[in-house]
Amino acid sequence: MGNTDTLDLVAAIYAATLPREDFNRMFDRLDELLFPDGDGGESGGKPDGRLDARALAHIETALGIQERLGRARTDDQMNAAILESVPNPSYLVRRSELVVAANAMALARYGRMPTMLRDLVVDPGVRRKVRDFIVSGDSRRLFAVAGHADPDSDSQTSVLVKRVDPALLKGSDEPCFLLSVVDFGFGDAAVELFRGAYGLTQAEVHVAVLLASGLRLPDIAIERRVSVDTLRTQIKVIKYKTGVRDIPALVRLLCGFSAGALAPTARPFATSPARPVSGPLKLRQQITLPDGRRLQYVEQGAHDGEPVLMFHNLPYGVELPEAAIHQAHRDRLRFIAPFRPGFGGSDMVAAASGDELLDKAATDARELLAHLGIARAVVVSHSTSAAFALRFARLFPDRVARLIGVGRAPIWRDAWAKETPQRQRFMLRMAKHVPQMLPVVAWAMVSVMDSAYAADFVAYNCKDGRADAAALQVNPEIADLISRGSVEALRNGLDGFCRECRISLLDFTEEARATPHKFHILHGREDVIVRPEHSLAFADAVPGTVVELVEGAGQLLFFSHWQYVIDAVRRQAPDHRLRAAAVTAFA
């Protein structure tokens, strides 16, 4: 690379640190400078886009600029980011007892913004316990207080308090705590009736109430001052006495029992679990893994439906379209989508890449299913996550009911890069030849996604596919799911994205042949980003694979033709006639 080219590349690198209206020209200029021959090395030779020492040094400087820009969010934005995914009325409280923020649910429920802790927690006994915890500064656990913040209320409520990670509050040195109010609408009388109806002991009904409050087993064990093993034994006894199969069913039974007990026209108490709460589920949750890392996940669909473990695309794809969530609820399907390491609220695995990262993500997903009391699930991959779903199926085959891939098979061949549209080809070439540039370009991409140009950016990246362009025109929700999902997934850094880009360039056909579960792949017939030939080549290499080509769909099949995904999940077994039909129709 000559001196003039290096200077031009340096200028383009710094331009990528500034979100701008002409984002398309910025990306195209980087593509031209990094891969001037238009080949990128796919023919077997070295790419022309080699970086000299000066360019590499400027990349590091650009990354530093981007990092500082990323930290420049206002306090209000950071507070909103912390509160946005909490499914209960919640507040941020400083150690000085100043209440600094509340989420929309809290304001809608209680109609006021308290100034101090004494205004928020009126009951002096509850307030004293909360104050003692805040003063202690214990950041290792979730603190729960049974009892209502308002002494005039008879409903059963837990006040949950957790210290906010200091890394999320770079603008202040004062410790901050998240305080949530979980109100289930049943009082002491209903709890006592529940205990008597099912023959529970006082200890067992207390455990049931704490489970209903959303506490994890380690936190309940601390609250009850017993071991986790003792707690597990108690829960088994509770499930046996109440006739439920898992903890979510126990929570529904307790809430449903209370609703019947409080209703003025209540019928005699049932001895079987109540029906689930009406309405579709869409919740963001978080667990702590055995190694101390956090794992965030999203549940969508039916509370007690058939479990579906869904691996998200790179970087978006955790959320289903709104209509799909309602259909999943009607069809009794429960989609569970964990953020992989480094995405969303899930902590990164230090220095993990390749096989180690695949293994870790699979193990995390297994831990999540175990936490939820789920023995087996239908496993669905969205595009680039196919390798992660495959690794899960290979390591934990007994946990897999069926294996479904949407939009892509876990296969890659370098020759395919030539036929890939320009913008996607640019990202592939960087991942393979100049990975140092990936974080710079990815940051610029997320910046555009988090701006008024988000929809235009998504549309430009899909402009080469007629089906995808039409889908974006018909349904603006698709661009919102992609842009908002990308910003959320990458809000804590780009390491996960950059590591997974390199995984997407690997071929997993050998592993797929050795895995007992075979993919049923849904692929858009008009997909020009990942062409149908790729999935058909995978099927040729892996006997037992089923490929279903979806008419009128492109790469956005997951969003534009979500009905096919729901239908594939609902089938008891894949239709192996689809493979032959797909090949014939494609030919």
Q: What is the pLDDT of residue 36?
A: 73
Q: Which residues contact 222 (CB under 8 A, 6 or more apart)?
A: 141
Q: What is the pLDDT of residue 526?
A: 95
Q: Which domains does the chain have, with CATH numbers?
A: 3-72+422-463 (no CATH), 75-262 (3.30.450.20), 281-416+500-586 (3.40.50.1820)
Whole-prediction pTM: 0.63
Residue type, 154: D
Q: What is the pLDDT of residue 380?
A: 98
Strands (E), 227-332: 281-288, 294-301, 306-311
Q: Which residues contact 179 (CB under 8 A, 6 or more apart)?
A: 90, 91, 92, 93, 120, 121, 130, 159, 160, 161
Give Cα separations from 119 to 88, 99, 110 (angstroms): 18, 9, 12
Q: What is the pLDDT of residue 185?
A: 54
Structure tokens at 427: 């990202």
Query: For residue range 402-438, what is the model confidence (pLDDT) as tens digits?
Result: 999 999 999 999 889 888 888 888 888 878 887 877 7
Task: Using 50 as the pLDDT threshold, list the residues of the chain that sit under it.
Answer: 1-3, 40-41, 43-49, 69, 71-74, 149, 151, 259-277, 574, 576-587
Strands (E), 11-117: 90-94, 99-102
Q: What is the pLDDT of residue 533?
A: 95
Residue 420: its H or E element: none
The Cα 573–Cα 82 span in angstroms is: 41
Sheet holding 155-163, edge to edge: 99-102, 90-94, 176-187, 155-163, 143-146
The Cα 15–Cα 25 span in angstroms is: 11
The Cα 526–Cα 448 span in angstroms is: 27
DSSP annotation string for 148-166 = -SSTT--EEEEEEEEEPPG
Q: What is the pLDDT of residue 120?
A: 84
DSSP annotation string for 203-250 = HHHHHHHHHHTT--HHHHHHHHTS-HHHHHHHHHHHHHHHT-SSHHHH
Query: For residue range 85-95, what is the model confidence (pLDDT) as tens digits?
Result: 565 678 889 88
DSSP annotation string for 508-547 = -HHHHHTSSS-EEEEEETT-SSS-HHHHHHHHHHSTT-EE
Q: What is the pLDDT of residue 564?
A: 95
Q: What is the pLDDT of residue 303?
A: 85
